[in-house]
Amino acid sequence: METAVKTNWNIDNAHSEIAFKVKHMMISTVTGYFEDYSASVETENEDFKGASFSFTAQTDSINTKNSDRDAHLKSDDFFNVEAYPELKFESKSFDGSTLVGDLTIKNITKEVSLDVDFNGVAVDPYGQTKAGFDISGAINRKDFDLTWSAVTEAGKIVVSDTVKLQLNVQFVKA
């Protein structure tokens, strides 16, 4: 019986972006990023079906292009980066279009389902084989104890509970 050969892929940080979007006061959207992260994929197939995805981000690397807001997000009201320096995702299944796995934020683990567009594989001018994915989904931040909330005088919620995830990632064949 032959054993399938597994191929390892590592994230290409220079060609990847880990973003999230949250409604602010229900009238505009704020985009943030994690700047310090690592990810890998292990697969036996060229179409990546059944692949294992692993992702870790340093919560202290959060960047919303506003230092006061970033400081608030790093505080105990949200990520508490001192106590919980990382968030993690480990996949359970990937059928080619849906990625299911465990997301852990602040030591709380919940199963999430993400939509995936596999954009294919290409060889770059330097001979490196790369694979590209667009991954999206949404979580409820309160499921992960990101519970800070405020209401304006007019009764508008300052921060939506729904956080949209948008990962545009490229992996390099190891």
**Over the stretch 24-51, which tens digit does the pLDDT of each residue have?**
887 889 999 999 999 999 999 999 999 9
Q: pLDDT, tens digit, for every residue of 57-112?
A: 999 999 999 999 999 999 998 999 999 999 999 999 999 999 999 999 999 999 99
- First-last CA distance in the chain: 26
In contact, 41 and 53? CB cutoff 8 Å: yes
Per the domain annotation, does 65 fall within a domain?
Answer: yes
The whole domain housing 23 covers 7-173
| Domains contained in the chain, number | 1
Model confidence, pTM: 0.92
Three-class SS string for 58-94? EHHHEECCCHHHHHHHHCCCCCCCCCCCEEEEEEEEE
Rounded Cα–Cα distance for residues 164 and 147 (Å): 16
Per the domain annotation, does 1 fall within a domain?
Answer: no
In contact, 64 and 31? CB cutoff 8 Å: yes
The domain spanning residue 138 has which CATH number?
Answer: 2.40.128.110
